[in-house]
Structures are given as structure tokens and as C-alpha cells.
Amino acid sequence: MTLLNQETPLALGAKQIRAVIFDWAGTTVDFGSLAPVRTLERVFSEAGVPISEEEARRDMGIAKRDHIEALLSAPRIRDEWLKKYGRPVASSDLDSLYECFIPLQFECLRQYAQVIRGVPEIVIQLRGRGIKIGSTTGYTRAMLDVLVAEAASAGYQPDCSFSPEDAGAGRPYPFMIYAAAVKLQVYPLGVVVKVGDTAADIKEGLNAGVWSVGVAGTGNGIGLAEESFCKLPTPVRAGKLQNARRELEAAGAHYVVDTLAELTNVIADIEARLSGRIYA
């Protein structure tokens, strides 16, 4: 197990991890993080300015309104908007696209709400170690409520869940993690682990001063449903996985795993460092 980011959180003498805060789409539900991408593609297509899947995924993980704003700020999309409408993008365009996004996202949310294989089992293992489970997302509160209900029926139920509107701002700001720590009654932040599949997740964790773990094999960097991913030729599958790892490493993750099945080993390594059994 390799520690990638040497700038580790301060735990103030604590020796055990007390909370893990998971992302949702691409980490615990929706293998490949398909729901937000499909909705963003549809929103921009209906506006007459189609976007690519790569463009839709570039800022994945941040609050959805912020995500749409980031897309509108991209040079290619900004230029296409000017060609289409004969004027630059206005704030009213952002409002209009976001208003379109909300019902379309609800329309497909349940379709992609399946809990990723192995998630309930790893949560049981973590709770067996006395670790509390929180969650954060880029979805709105109402969208998150849909996911929470769907996930609970499949055996995954975190102790708390926060959306950007609950905490005042989304990723990369740390406020959702702060809110989760308060709700879970866990401190110092050096005994908290944040797990997610995007660079925004990693930055959220780093900004909060917690351990940041990227999961490469199930999320935004893969961009396919599990069945489709598994059907890829082995070299193609390995290449996509390597690219996903690199993106999370570049974002500053302390650790990167392929699946959540590796998380208990990561926590054991962190706790060994906290207790002084590993010094480098």
C-alpha cells in the first residue's frame, strides 16, 4: 500500500480512523457515473449546443449548477453558443439550463441508482471496526433523497448525507465534510477519510484536512456501466483504469484504489502511520 501524498492530515495523537465519508455517483452507486453525464448531454443537446461525454465529465463532482456554469465557460462551448444564438452566454442562460436539468435528472436518477457491487459489505466491515459512515454529493438535496432511499433498499445506508445546499457550498469547498463531522460527532479531522471517484472529491477532502482516497475502477474515469466495462478487451480496460488512477493521483489523493474492497487495507495503513508503526 503506497502513500501517494506525503502532506498527510494531522490527527493530534489519535490512532484510529473514526469516520469514512463516501461520495455517491461512481463511488457507492451508479457504476461509471452515468446519470449526470447523460442528463448534461441531453440538456445541452436540447439547447442546440451539443457537448461531448469528455466535456461533460471534465468537472464531475462539483455542484450541478456550478457544473453547468463551468461547461458554459469552456471556450469551445462558449464559441458554439455564440454561433447558435448570435450573442455571448448570459446569466439567464445558466438559469434556463439549470431549470431544464433538474427534471431531466430526476427522470433518469432511479435508472442509475443501483448500489455498486461490494458496497454494503465494505460498510459492514467498517462499522465492525467502529467507523461511522457519512456521505457527500454534487446532487441537490431532493436528488440525494432519491438516492438515499434507493440505496437503503439495496442495503447501503450511511449515517448521514449532505448536499451542497445543506452546507452552503459544494466541492471543492470542505463544508459538506465539516457538516458530516459535526453530525457524526467525530474529531479531529485527521481521523476522517473521504472516498470519491473525481478530482473534485479529492480536493474536497484535502481542503477539509482529511485523508483523501480516490476510487478509480467504478467511476467517472471509467465512464461505462460495469457490464460494458468488463466486456472491453483487457488492454483497453487496463488503459482506462490507469488513466483514472493518474487523474486521482494528480489531484493529490493520499491513496488510490481500484475498488472499495481495498479500503480496509488503506485504513490499516493509515492507522499504522497514526500509531507510529510507519514513519515514511
Task: Name the residues annotated as catalytic.
Answer: 23, 64
- C-alpha R_g of the chain: 19
Distance CA 254, CA 212 (A): 5
Query: Does residue 172 have a cis bond before it (omega within 30 degrees)?
Result: yes
Nearest residue to 188 via CA among 13, 5, 21, 3: 13
Q: Is the dihedral of CA 263, 247, 181, 170 positive or negative?
A: negative
Distance CA 170, CA 69 (A): 14
Q: Is the dihedral of CA 240, 243, 249, 251 positive or negative?
A: negative
Residue 84's alpha-carbon distances to 46, 79, 80, in angstroms, are 12, 9, 6
Nearest residue to 7 via CA among 212, 174, 262: 212
Q: Give SS3 for 227.
A: helix
| First-to-final CA distance of the chain | 12
Q: DSSP label at 190?
A: G
Distance CA 93, CA 43 (A): 12
Q: Crossing angle of helices 234-250/199-208, nearest 10°?
A: 30
Phi, psi of 7 (to 5 degrees): -85, 80
Reading the block at residue 220, the C-alpha cell is 467517472
